[in-house]
Structure 1
Amino acid sequence: MAARIYQKPKNAMQSGKAGTGDWVLEFEQSEARRADPLMGWTGSGDTQAQVRLTFPTKDEAKAYADKYGIAARIHATPPKSLKLQAYADNFR
């Protein structure tokens, strides 16, 4: 049972940053997805892939994984860079 721990990114469709400080523990797929012959939907018998746990800190997520014997990889959050730009820069 493998999982990954990462920090939720900001939604690209909105300017708000609500919920971006949370850390997510998400299980990796253990079974390939396959298409249903009747409806055409994709799915698998892997129910662990539907589980997504959120934690306020990375340490709490790692402690949970260690407590229950889950092999978890932590994905580092890339540094945030702020691009300062003025309207007058369009006319240089």
Structure 2
Amino acid sequence: MAARIYQIPKSAMQSGKAKTDTWLLEFEQSEARRPDPLMGWTGSGDTQAQVQLKFPTKDAAKGYAEKHGIAARVHQTPPRTLKIQAYADNFR
């Protein structure tokens, strides 16, 4: 069972940093998705891919994975860069 641990990114509609401190542990898919012949929807028999576990810290997520024997990869969040700009810069 493989999984990945990452921090929840900020949504495009979100200007603040609310709920971005949470870390997720998601299981990777063990089998390929295939289209349903009748409806055409894609799906698979892998129910682990639907599981998302939330943790307050990265260390808590890593500890859970080690305790339960889950091979987990940690994806670091890229550093946030602020583009500081004054209103007067629009007229230069």
- TM-score for both structures, normalised by structure 2: 0.96
Worse-matched range after superposition: 8-17 or 68-77: 8-17
Cα shift at 1:19: 1.0
State the secondary structure of the residue aligned to 1:46: coil
Flag structure 1 segments of 5+ consecutive residues without an equivalent: none
| Contact 1:62 1:72 (C-alpha < 8 Å) held by counterparts | yes
The offset of 1:17, in angstroms, is 2.2
Q: Specify the alignment match of 2:8 in structure 1.
A: 8
CA–CA separation in structure 1 for the residues paired with 2:39 and 2:16: 37
CA RMSD of aligned residues (A): 0.8
**Secondary structure at 1:10 match in 2:** coil
- Distance across 1 between alignment mates of 2:3 and 2:52: 10
Note the 1:22-61 alignment, pairs <5 A: 22-61=22-61
Matched AA of 2:65:
A
5+ residue gaps, structure 2, are none
Q: Secondary structure at the match of 2:19?
A: coil
Partners of 1:15 and 1:80 in 2: CA distance: 13
Aligned partner of residue 89 in structure 1, secondary structure: helix
Inter-partner Cα distance in structure 2 for 1:28 and 1:2: 6
Contact 1:3 1:71 in 2 (8 A): yes
